[in-house]
Amino acid sequence: MATRWLYFRLFGFTAVIATGAYGWQLPGLGLSTGIVPLSGNVEQLKLQAGFFDAPTLLWLSASDAMLNALCAACVVCGLLVAFDVAVPFALGGLFVCWVSLVNVGQPFLSFQWDILLCEAALLSIPYALRPKAEPQLWQRLFVALVAVKVTFESGIVKLTAGDEAWWPKLTALTYHYWTQPLPAWTSPYIDRLPLWLHQAACLSMFVLELGVPLAAFGPRRARLVAALGMIALQAGLAVAGNYAYFNLLVAALCVPLLDDVFLKKTLPKQEGFAPKHFEPMGWSLFAVVLLFSGLTFLEQFRPGYPEAVQQAVDRVQAVKAVSSYGVFRIMTKTRPEIVIEGSDDGVEWKAYEFKWKPGRADRAPHFVAPWQPRVDWQMWFAAMGRCEGWVQLMLRRMLLGQPEVLALLEENPFPNRPPRYLRSTLWQYRFAPPGSKDWWQRTVEGPYCPDVMLSPDGRLMRAGQLQ
């Protein structure tokens, strides 16, 4: 019973952090005052797809009140899980409300761990049944399967992507610490370790991602090894960078692989009894989930399944009941960063600083996880693409002086009124060498977006277009 006690507290509080952090940023991200209002996403969805292609309660209403209500419901459900109140119903409510947001929340709800939270909430429901009884193995494996999938599949995609930095050279970690989305202050020091140590860490990572998770389906000692190995992997990732609530969530999902004998010295004793009878219905349901997990993963390596199978897989993925995962398939080997500056006269420019992503060369990286600053994260992806979509929408909001959007930034150099012009420049960043007074060294690469201003009717346009 101790494992159940620990798991639902960890999972509940992780859900509170994940959904609460998004709700806190929602006015600047997805409300009518935000960069990409979700009401517009819902309207597009209604034109292009049906309800079962992307099920969401926002089909009923995508108003600001409804969006806030969904976020608040997610937080409440997370608290109910954490405090062991009506846990199966709270998990169901969390699943429905979070899926409703994730299915229309692009680009700021497009991360793998957002989908992972949906699947974990749903597959935790069997583990929450019969709270007075010791959970059977099939109930534990429903939860542990999610941790196994996200770990094992992350290793497989690295091996199959064809990036020699992962295999066979094992040099990927010589790039990772300074190119990852949001480094921490520990990242520069780890980056300076010798090559052989980076290669040894990379090889160890493959062992932890590919070998250790499979032990979860073995006897008790093997399950303990699997749990501790996957938790150690997530702890290592958390020490070296900021990955939002991902590390905490995956570590929590490993807890059901432990048992009361292992945890009895640190957690309060829980009363209950252990049913001994075999439950074919539970194991059959677990087999179905395992089957769809395999189908969704293998789908990325084959052109398609027979029509009936493909439709079933598509429906399961649409509701985020079962998904495939895989992070850092190809190692990023450069670090472009977008620097946004404003000006009133086109001569003197002042930079906007973001809260967590690299900006000034002398600005130290910090720990922010498990909180996720979603604009900072998306700026990392935007720097590797073109100036389009949500970036242009953000520039327009900044020129309008939208306070909800500006609140997502660390520093607004124009506190009294917005500037007339904005420009965005692409820079290449690397950690500064030891002994430098700065944390970063950077070189300018060129313009990212054209210099922009607002037209008389409030549209974004190239600067000078009115002249």
Q: What is the pLDDT of residues 419-463, one digit of tens each?
A: 999 999 999 999 999 999 999 999 999 999 999 999 999 999 998
Half-sphere exposure of 97 (CA within 13 A, CB side): 26
Q: In whole angstroms, what separates CA 323 from the centre of its chain?
A: 14
Residue 280 pLDDT: 82
Q: Taking a C-beta distance cutoff of 8 angstroms, is the pair 31, 70 a contact?
A: no
Q: What ranges make up the beta strands (E) of 374-439?
A: 409-411, 421-431
Please state, rounded to an integer, the average pLDDT across all residues of the chain.
92
pTM of the complete model beyond 0.75: yes
Residue 326 one-letter amino acid:
G
| In 383-420, alpha helices (H) | 390-400, 403-406
Q: What pLDDT band is residue 107 in, cutting at 50, 70 and 90?
A: very high
Q: How far apart are CA 289 and CA 423, in angstroms?
A: 49
Residues found in the chain: 467
Written as six digits, the tokens of 44 are 């597009």
Residues 10-64: pLDDT tens digits? 999 999 999 999 999 999 999 999 999 999 999 999 888 888 888 999 999 999 9
Closest C-alpha among 390, 420, 417 to residue 401: 417
The set of long-range contacts for 60-64, using a CB threshold of 8 Å and a minimum separation of 24, is 62/38, 62/104, 63/39, 64/31, 64/32
Over the stretch 451-466, which tens digit does the pLDDT of each residue have?
999 999 999 999 876 4
Distance CA 52, CA 35 (A): 27
**pLDDT tens digits for range 217-256:** 999 899 999 999 999 999 999 999 999 999 999 999 999 9
Average pLDDT for 343-364: 95
CA distance 292 to 154: 18
| Bridge partners, residue 145, by sequence | none
Question: In a 3-state reduction of DSSP, which class is residue 454?
Answer: strand
- Residue 298: pLDDT band (50, 70, 90) is confident
Token digits for 274?
């252990």
The verdict on whether omega for the bond into residue 370 sits within 30 degrees of 0, i.e. cis, is yes
Angle between helical axes of 246-254 and 137-160 (0-180°, round to 10): 130
The neighbouring-strand residues paired with 441 are 430
User: Comparing C-alpha atoms, which of 147, 12, 150 is closest to residue 84?
Assistant: 12
Question: 361 falls in which pLDDT band (50, 70, 90)?
Answer: very high
- CB environment 226-251: b (16+ within 10 A), e (fewer): bbebbbebbebbbebbbbbbbbbbbb
